[in-house]
């Protein structure tokens, strides 16, 4: 793994950890509670990020594009699915020679660099959403 890929991977890992921290300690009800007009909630963000990891790195689809979580899906399953999608992505990253390593992103040929940057942007955006929603739910702030 090149220094560039190591740095991008470390950035992604930090963002992922922040997303999971926003889910930690929430009840099933609070994780699904929306405090914004769009209906977005922390559980839905995790489900969507699970899908994004799978789509950008061409791994077996986990999660759903939708941010609406089926009430029968417990938080433990959402966490496990997200961690599994991240682990599948990590295996691809760790096996890569560098940023130009070919990957299949959203069904098309791409590079590891492009996929990493896309998932970093997606995760950062939604980590910010999760931070705001979590603060509105119980006052918890920070990364």
Element (H, E) at 48: helix 42-57
Contacts of residue 125, defined as CB under 8 A and 6 or more positions apart, other chains included, come to: none
Q: What per-residue confidence (pLDDT) applies to 48? A: 95
**Residue keyed to tokens 């940057």:** 117
For residue 143, the model assigns a pLDDT of 65
User: CA 72, CA 57: separation in Å to the nearest integer?
Assistant: 27
**Contact partners, residue 134, CB within 8 Å, separation at least 6:** 22, 26, 42, 140, 141
Is the predicted pLDDT of residue 80 greater than 70, yes or no? yes
- Domain segments of the chain: what residues? 3-138
Rounded CA-CA distance 54/63 in Å is 8
**How many Cα atoms occupy the beta-carbon half-sphere of 109 within 13 Å?**
3
CATH number of this structure's domain 3-138: 1.20.120.450
Kind plus residue range of the DSSP H or E element containing 108: strand 108-111
What are the CA-CA distances from residue 110 to residues 43, 71, 104 (Å)? 29, 35, 6
pLDDT digits (tens, 9 = 90+) for 9-37: 999 999 999 999 999 999 999 999 999 99
Looking at 38-42, 43-47, 136-140, which range is the least confident one? 136-140
- What is the residue-averaged pLDDT of the chain? 93
pLDDT attached to residue 61: 73
pTM of the model: 0.94
Q: Give the mean model confidence (pLDDT) for residues 123-140.
A: 94
Per-residue pLDDT averaged across 57-86, rounded? 90
């Amino acid at each position: 793994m090149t220094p560039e890929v190591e740095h991008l991977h470390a950035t992604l890992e930090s963002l992922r950890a922040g997303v999971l921290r926003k889910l930690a300690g929430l009840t099933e009800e609070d994780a699904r509670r929306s405090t914004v007009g769009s209906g977005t909630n922390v559980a839905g963000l995790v489900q969507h990020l699970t899908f994004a990891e799978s789509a950008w790195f061409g791994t077996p689809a986990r999660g759903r594009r939708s941010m609406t979580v089926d009430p029968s899906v417990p938080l433990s399953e959402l966490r496990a699915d997200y961690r599994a999608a991240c682990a599948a992505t990590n295996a691809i990253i760790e096996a890569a020679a560098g940023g130009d390593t070919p990957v299949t992103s959203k069904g098309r040929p791409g590079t590891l660099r492009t996929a990493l940057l896309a998932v970093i942007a997606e995760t950062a955006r939604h980590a910010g959403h999760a931070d705001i929603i979590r603060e509105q739910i119980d006052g918890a702030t920070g990364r």
